[in-house]
């Protein structure tokens, strides 16, 4: 689509959507949301970019094949489950480390790794489908 209004709006909205995607990802880490909804918003940012500037330019911006992104996401989700088994618990049981940073205790654990995996799978799968449909024409 060759629209100057769409391209200008996309230049403004693209970074905002990515920041909102990261916000949703971290907000949902301990509350509803997380990797799935953050991934959908992140994918929407790239889809908007693809509509405004084309699929080829968006692929260059992404710098990674969406199918590879899906593979890494599945790998991270699997690793988060295996880490629980290594610790002697059931598959996907949360394992936590509580490092103290600047006097505050951070809750870092395998659910964060799983959420990163879900995020990558959602973004990668959505973009793979959208790019395939766009390039079919």
| Residue 77 near residue 118, CB atoms below 8 Å | yes
Domain hosting residue 72, numbered range: 4-135
Mean pLDDT of the chain: 91
Mean pLDDT of the 30-51 span: 90
Q: Out of 29-38, 83-92, 104-113, pick the least confident.
A: 29-38
How many other C-beta atoms can be found within 10 angstroms of the C-beta atom of residue 90? 8
- Residue with the larger pLDDT of the pair 100 and 78: 78
Q: Which of 74, 75, 80, 82 is nearest to 122 (CA)?
A: 74
Q: What is the per-residue pLDDT for 98?
A: 82
At residue 18 the predicted structure's pLDDT band, cuts being 50, 70 and 90, is very high
Residue 42 CA to residue 86 CA, distance in Å, equals: 32
pTM value is: 0.88
| Residue 39 near residue 119, CB atoms below 8 Å | yes
| Residue 46 near residue 127, CB atoms below 8 Å | yes
Residue 13 CA to residue 46 CA, distance in Å, equals: 10
Q: How many domains does the chain have?
A: 1
pLDDT in tens, 49-72: 999 999 999 999 999 999 999 999
Residue 112 CA to residue 105 CA, distance in Å, equals: 16
């Amino acid at each position: 689509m060759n629209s100057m209004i769409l391209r200008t709006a996309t230049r403004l909205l693209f970074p905002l959507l990515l920041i909102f995607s990261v916000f949703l990802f971290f907000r949902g880490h301990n509350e509803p949301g997380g990797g799935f909804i953050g991934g959908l918003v992140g994918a929407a940012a790239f889809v908007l970019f693809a509509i405004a500037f084309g699929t080829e330019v968006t692929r260059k911006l992404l710098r990674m094949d969406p199918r590879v992104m899906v593979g890494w996401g599945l790998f991270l989700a699997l690793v988060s489950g295996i880490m629980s088994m290594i610790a002697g618990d059931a598959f996907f049981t949360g394992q936590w480390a509580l490092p103290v940073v600047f006097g505050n205790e951070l809750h870092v654990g395998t659910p964060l790794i799983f959420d990163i995996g879900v995020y990558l799978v959602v973004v990668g799968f959505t973009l793979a489908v959208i790019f395939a449909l766009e390039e079919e024409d």
